[in-house]
Amino acid sequence: MTVRLWALVTLGVLLAALAVVAALTVPWHRAPAPRADQIAALGQLPAEQVARARQFRSELRPGGYLSMAVGLLVTLALGLTPAGARLVELAGRPFGGHWLARAVLGGLLVVLAGELLTLPFAAWRHTIAVRYGISTQSWGGWSVDLLKSLAVGAVLGGLALAGFFTVTHFAPRWWWAFGAAGAAGLVVLLSFVLPVLVEPVFNRFTPMPDGPLRTELIALADADGVPVRDVLVADASRRTRAVNAYVSGLGPTRRIVVYDTMLTEATPDEVLSVAAHELGHAKDGDVLTGTILGALGAAVAVIAVYLLGSWSGLLRLAGVDSIGEPRAIGLLLALAAIAGLAAGPVQAFVSRRIEARADRHALALTGDPQTFEAMQRRLGTVNLSDPDPPSWEFLMFASHPSTVQRMAAARAYARGER
């Protein structure tokens, strides 16, 4: 077989594997959350709080969508015209045009161009979050976090770019195979490494002091058959008033993390309810499932890029000779942006199903639908989320069921509906 045919066969096998894993692991069944219960729950929420949350979201919306539009337009302009290739050449010029300098510095320069042009929208959103009391950060703290994010992205992106273009440079015919394996391996590695190495860059974590809540959280995890290494408190209050908790890590790195804001805003039973939801993700292997799906998706993306690279018209638009050369970084990012836009609603749908399963797990583990509903009400109120967002926006972007859907699911569970 020719190399291209091998790539096509491999792509077909990976897509089949992706479909099988998704079919077996994603909870396609939707738990009852009757619309009548949703409307009743919405009617019982304080009208002024609902109005304030909706006003907050309506003020955030223009900046969010404008940022998405500008980012996409910049990416397409750099990828579907020779502009991106010229930026890569410019970045590599001080190093004699060396391919590795072009790959790493050129790639970072192309990404930075988009980041800088969308930065004003991020600042706009921060201003609104401060005005509504969600953000507690000064401009100094916000800027430091922004620089940290850019630094982490530069390190991870630089390593990925160096690895990818090293493979394309030394294996020009079979780079798709090595690249697919490398991309899949990177996704798996980051699932283990990010919670341990990256999370502490943005938050300070301290062990939760001994006391009834810590004891109950560990007992809840033990009862669920999900051993955790520790219970930590994150200093989220230095940047936000939002409340949250999550289970982080895999295997020996797994720990329950609770925002310090939750300890002051929520009751201990409500903290247990949120922790039970997060333990559900661990119990059902959602992190592992996401890692496998992400690894398969990354491998599929690399091979698809290789196959698209034979489209001469696309290469002419970008002003490059091959999609495997560093000057094609802009084109690669443009293709990734288009694919991400198309896949976004599907990923959101799958995420909502997984989150709904974790909600059912929390209800079953605690046996306390009243506290679960109270916690959802508190999450929505404190975090200023629209309890019943517009349908089109919900379908396109929502990664979780809405507040009223989660409250309705608790009411259905209390009636014995499964």
| Known active-site residue 359 | yes
Do the Cβ atoms of 263 and 151 come closer than 8 Å? no
CA distance 404 to 31: 14
Q: Which pLDDT belongs to residue 1?
A: 67
pLDDT tops 80 at residue 260? yes
pLDDT tops 70 at residue 261? yes
Q: Which pLDDT belongs to residue 146?
A: 94
Q: Which pLDDT belongs to residue 417?
A: 83
Per-residue pLDDT band for 331 (boundaries 50, 70, 90) equals very high
Using alpha carbons, select from 225, 259, 272, 284 the residue that is nearest to residue 368.
272
281 is in an annotated binding site: yes
CA distance 328 to 83: 10
Q: Which pLDDT belongs to residue 229?
A: 85
CA distance 165 to 153: 18
SS3 172: coil
282: which 2 tokens? 């661990």
**What strand order describes the sheet that includes 205-207?**
205-207, 231-234, 255-259, 245-248
Q: What's the angle, vertex CA 186, arms to CA 305 and CA 331, rounded to 5?
A: 25
CA distance 81 to 318: 4
Give per-residue pLDDT as tens, 151-161: 999 999 999 99
* Contacting residues for 80 by C-beta, under 8 A, at least 6 apart: 314, 317, 318, 331, 334
Give per-residue pLDDT as tens, 137-154: 999 999 999 999 999 999
Q: Which of 37, 286, 325, 359 is catalytic?
A: 359
Q: Which pLDDT belongs to residue 228?
A: 87
pLDDT tops 70 at residue 192? yes
CA distance 295 to 293: 5
pLDDT tops 90 at residue 195? no
> What type of residue sits at position 389?
P
Give the pairing of strands 255-259 and 231-234.
parallel
pLDDT tops 80 at residue 309? yes
DSSP secondary structure code for residue 135 in this structure: B
Per-residue pLDDT band for 250 (boundaries 50, 70, 90) equals low
Phi, psi of 390 (to 5 degrees): -55, 140
Task: Give this prediction's pTM.
Answer: 0.90
The distance of Cα 142 from the centroid of its chain, to the nearest Å, equals 20
pLDDT tops 70 at residue 10? yes
270 is in an annotated binding site: no
Q: Which pLDDT belongs to residue 416?
A: 87
pLDDT tops 70 at residue 42? yes
Could you tell me which residue, 253 or 361, shows the higher pLDDT? 361
Q: Which pLDDT belongs to residue 89?
A: 95
pLDDT tops 90 at residue 287? no
Give the pairing of strands 255-259 and 245-248.
antiparallel
Give per-residue pLDDT as tens, 196-216: 778 888 889 999 999 999 999
Q: Which of 278, 325, 368, 388 is catalytic?
A: 278
Do the Cβ atoms of 383 and 134 come closer than 8 Å? yes
Q: Which pLDDT belongs to residue 375?
A: 93
Where does 242-312 show beta strands of DSSP type E?
Answer: 245-248, 255-259
Q: What does the mean pLDDT of the chain come to?
A: 92
CA distance 85 to 96: 16
pLDDT tops 90 at residue 22? yes
355 is in an annotated binding site: yes
Give me the residue label for tokens 């509504």.
132
Out of 12-16, 189-193, 338-342, 378-382, least confident range: 189-193
